[in-house]
Structures are given as C-alpha cells and as structure tokens.
Amino acid sequence: MKKCIITLFALLFAPAVSAATKQPNVIVLFTDDQGYADLGLHGSQIVKTPNIDSIGRNGIHFTSGYVAAPQCGPSRAGILSGRYPQRFGMEINAASAPGFGMPSDIPLIGNYMKKAGYVTAAVGKWHVGNTNASLAINRGFDWVWSMKGEKPDELQGVKIDNGHRTPTSTHRTNYLTLGALHFIEKNKAKPFFMYLAYHVPHAPYISTPNWMDKNKHVANKDKRVLAGMISELDDSVGRILAKLRELKLEEDTLIFYISDNGAQLAAKYPATVGSNDPLKGKKGTTYEGGVRVPWLVQWKGTIPAGQVVDDPVISLDVLPTALAAAGREDLITGKLDGVNLLPFFKKQSALPSRKLYFRWRGWFAVREDKWNAVYPAPLFQTPPEKIVPLSEAKLELYDMSRDKEQRSNIATQQPERVAKLKQSLVAWNRELTAPGWIAPRDVSVLNRIYGKEGMSHYPGLSYKTVAQKRPPKTADGGRSPERLMQLRDLDQDGKLTLKEYIGNTKGRNVPALTRRFNQRDANKDAKLTLEELKKTKDQ
C-alpha cells in the first residue's frame, strides 16, 4: 500500500517537475560587418531596425558588447567554440586556403547543444573551415542550410531560389530566413538550437528596389543601399520573431543578436559602408570600432525587459550561457573562456569582474572594468627590424567611463596601470598559438611581436604559409563582366552609369576608365548593359 502511494505521488508530480525544468530553445543571430552605429537602438538616423531593436527592448541592450576578433573567421570561431580562437590557430581569415579548418579536437556549440538534448541547425555563413571534417554538418549540427552539406534547395518539395541576388533579395537573406522558419516549424515540439549567420551588411554593397524604396528618407544613394540591406535583415528578424509568437514559443526561446565585428570602412568601397560611430577604429583593428558591436539578448518571461547595461560582455559567453539555460551547467568546462551570464540575466548576481583580451595580426587590446589598453601594431607601416615585442610596446590607455570614443590616450598619466595591463597581455599571449595559414610576409613580423611562446604551433594544425600572389589586374579590377555588374549596379536596373562603372575613384585612373566606358557604350546612351560590358575596346 505504501509503495502504491509513493508511485501515485511520483506520477502526479512528475509533469510539474518536467514543466518547471523545460529546456528553452536557443537562437543565435550573427550578422556580418554590422557596425556599432548600424542599429536604430544605437541612434542611427540612416537605418531603421524596429524588429532588431525589439530584442534589446524586450530584454537587455548591452552597450559594451564585444566579439573575440575584429574579423569574420576568427570571430565566428570564437562564438562557436566559447574560446579565444587564438588558442588554436584561428586568428586570421583563411577561408580559401587549402586545408583551412577548425581543429577537430575543438568541440563547437553544436556538439555541446546536441549533448544537452537539442536538435541543432547551422544556417548561413560558416567561414571556419573548408575541409570535410570542419563542415558544420560534421561538427554537431543536425541540419544545415545555405552551406556545404545542405540538402537540395527545396523546402517541403518547393524549389527555392538560392541565388546570391534575386529580384527582391540580396546576399541570400530571404533564402536563409526561409530555411530558419522551416527549421523552427519542423522542430516546434522539441528544444532546438539554431545558429543563423546572415551575410549582411558585408560587401558587396547591393540592395534591391523594393528595400531601397523603403528608405527614401536617406538622401545619399550609397547610404540608401546600406539602409536597404539592413531593412531586409530587420524584416527577416521580424519574420522569425513572428513565427515564435505564432507557435507560442517566444517565452520559451533565448535569443542572442550580435555582429561578428565592426564595419570595415575600407577606402575601396563607396560611402555605403556602415558606421562605428562614435567609436574609434574599424574591422581589422582592436580599437573599439573593430570589436565592440551590437549585442542584444531576449528571453521573455525570464529576462526582465528594458535593461540597458554598459558592463562588458563578449561573444564567448554565449556558449556557457546557452548550456546553463538548458540546465546543463555540468557541460561547462574549464577550457571555455566565456562565462555563464544567466545569473546576471535573472538579476541574481552582478557580472563577474574580469579581463577581456584581443589579439589580431599583431594588434592587441585588453578591457578590464572601465580601462582599455590598446597596442595598435604598425604591421605594414614599419620595417620588420624596427617592430618591437609586445613586452616592449607602448600601449595606449583609455578610460571607457569617460572616453568610449578613445580620443584621449592617458597612458602617461597612469604608468602603473599600463604596466599591469601589459603584464596581463604578455601572460595571456604566452597561452596562445601561432595563427595558421598566414602569408610569408607576416611570419617574421608576428614572430617579433608575439615571441616564441606566442607563436607555438597548435598540435595537428597545418602551418603552411599562404602565398598571396595577386593576378595582374585588368582595367576593371580583374573581375568578370558579370561580377562587375553585380557589384556596381547599385540601382539594380541592369545597366551601369559612368559613376557606377568607375566606383570609388581613389587610386583609379579615371580618364582611362572613362575612355573605356565610352568605347563600350555602343548606343551612346551613357549606360552599359552586360553585353556592352563584355566588349573590349577593340571590338
């Protein structure tokens, strides 16, 4: 009798326990080259992002959110592994290099979340390996979309246009969103994890008329292209949020929204490129503009809404936080560099005081509380023999509580603090490994800056240098007519004006390009069709 009562008690209360410990879905939205100012929530007067902004308004808007590197590949390696990518050779982009790929002994977030009982998906840009062993489908993800290893380009038997550009979408933004919506719908009854990495607003800077028309308030045509790209991105985020509401999953889903690095602000691109204002620096630097990005979190019903937090967090925190939300803190190992933010999300404790480190192609930075020290390595401006080791480098120091713009270097006023921060950087550098797949010209320079310990080889990683031989450029920059039309046809009318044909005038022979344009313009309408673009000056 006693045994029966105990069994009945267990049966009655088992569902309540199960409901209380239900694992939330987790979605990571990772954008590409979205600058700090390319967000309505950050005060942009150019881009409108009401759906993206809603994530921060319904949860936490981190104004000092960082990523692990100021470049696509290593930043992705960081968020996917929860570890500094410099620990295992993934410091610099090398997507096209033979044998490039994440070391097979580094578990990724897909592996962790599968072990936690989740069905997993990777959608969009991968950029951390081209070998079979490093593909997402072989790194813990059950389903992939728009990357190597994906199933045929159809959903529920309907063929989907997966072109980089369609009449109403660019950079496969709509294609990725359709895949994401399909995955959510198919797995609505299971705990799911989805890593959704959009390609925007990375170059090439192109949009379509339907999205540009929504941004007629932007007078500058180049900036309107950027606004169009981000409008399409924002619409896609809105469709995903709407799907969660439709399926009544919004309160059961933890959402992260982060950019992979700052806007690149390269001179070779038109004014379309994004903005890191008011921050200093850009993609490819460890100034704030390179590594401080849009960083938003939402988990309705669990994370109190309307929080604006200036305490530093980093993309490495996503993995341990997702595991904690899943109730699997036992999977958070000491090898992870990120921390579990869940107690802070729930207002159970303050964020831990710690140092955040950055190293990229000779550049260094460290952020501790309000202090930020930077070593802007003069990699290509100084002869290798004049470049000094990190231990002898002169660091810049900034007080982030007063000077997030990094206008006033106060290193001379705080020599002891600078010395301590440099000491910590030097110690951290000794824990790292040499970047793989780098150009021969970089090896000698990085050897001098990083030293022997900071350039040790990661076991099993290929350290063949990557020859960077560039083919001789044609007058059109070495691009095919089709590629040139794709890159320069900003208004999407299928023709290039002289301004579009020339592009950025910096460093270009404008008179020669103008002559070539006129020679190809067979009907003299001041525009080039693709057929005219294919003609040489002798045709």
In sequence order, the β-bridge partners of residue 496 are: 528
Tokens of 37: 């100012």
Distance between CA 273 and CA 292 in Å, rounded? 17
Tokens of 92: 């610099």
| CATH class (in words) of the domain with range 356-454 | alpha beta
Top-confidence residue, 316 or 152: 316
Could you write out the DSSP letters of every residue in 155-170? ETTEE----SEETTEE
| pLDDT at residue 2, as a whole number | 42
CB-count exposure of residue 278 (10 Å: 0-12, 13-18, 19+) = middle
Intra-chain end-to-end CA distance of the chain, in Å? 99
Top-confidence residue, 271 or 317: 317
Closest CA to 30 of 230, 297, 203, 258: 258
Closest CA to 186 of 121, 257, 113, 111: 121
Distance between CA 61 and CA 295 in Å, rounded? 7
Q: Which residues contact 215 (CB under 8 A, 6 or more apart)?
A: 46, 48, 224, 227, 228, 231
pLDDT in tens, 463-517: 777 654 444 444 455 567 766 776 676 555 667 888 878 876 656 788 888 888 8
What is the dihedral sign for C-alpha 277, 280, 285, 286?
negative
Top-confidence residue, 464 or 216: 216
| pLDDT at residue 471, as a whole number | 42
Distance between CA 316 and CA 76 in Å, rounded? 10
Round the CA-based radius of gyration of the chain to a whole number and report it: 25
CB-count exposure of residue 277 (10 Å: 0-12, 13-18, 19+) = middle
Whole-structure pTM value: 0.85
Distance between CA 206 and CA 213 in Å, rounded? 13
pLDDT in tens, 320-370: 999 999 999 999 999 999 999 999 999 999 998 999 999 999 999 999 999
Distance between CA 342 and CA 319 in Å, rounded? 11
Distance between CA 161 and CA 174 in Å, rounded? 9
Top-confidence residue, 202 or 534: 202
User: Cα separations (Å) of 195 from 235, 258, 342, 403?
Assistant: 18, 11, 19, 34
Q: Give me the residue spans of the domains in the chain.
A: 28-350, 356-454, 481-533
CB 134 within 8 A of CB 460: no
What is the dihedral sign for C-alpha 265, 267, 271, 273?
negative
Which region among 154-163, 311-320, 510-519 has the lowest average model confidence (pLDDT)? 154-163
CB 296 within 8 A of CB 257: yes
| pLDDT at residue 29, as a whole number | 98
The identity of residue 336, as a single letter, is L
Mean pLDDT score, 54-80:
98
Phi-psi region for residue 366, left (φ > 0), alpha (ψ -120 to 50) or beta?
Answer: beta
Closest CA to 109 of 98, 101, 121, 100: 121
Percent of the chain with pLDDT over 90: 66
Peptide bond into 204 cis (omega under 30): yes
Closest CA to 124 of 64, 82, 80, 87: 80
Mean pLDDT over the full length of the chain: 88
| pLDDT at residue 198, as a whole number | 98
CB 433 within 8 A of CB 87: yes
Mean pLDDT score, 239-260:
98
Q: Which residues contact 361 (CB under 8 A, 6 or more apart)?
A: 91, 92, 284, 377, 379, 435, 442, 446
Multiple choice CATH, 28-350, 3.40.1280.10, 3.40.720.10, 3.30.2090.10, 3.40.630.30:
3.40.720.10
| pLDDT at residue 108, as a whole number | 98
Which region among 37-46, 189-198, 486-495 has the lowest average model confidence (pLDDT)? 486-495
Mean pLDDT score, 522-538:
76
> Which CATH code is given to the segment(s) 481-533?
1.10.238.10
In sequence order, the β-bridge partners of residue 255 are: 27, 298
Distance between CA 154 and CA 158 in Å, rounded? 5
Rounded to 5 degrees, φ, ψ at 194 are -130, 125
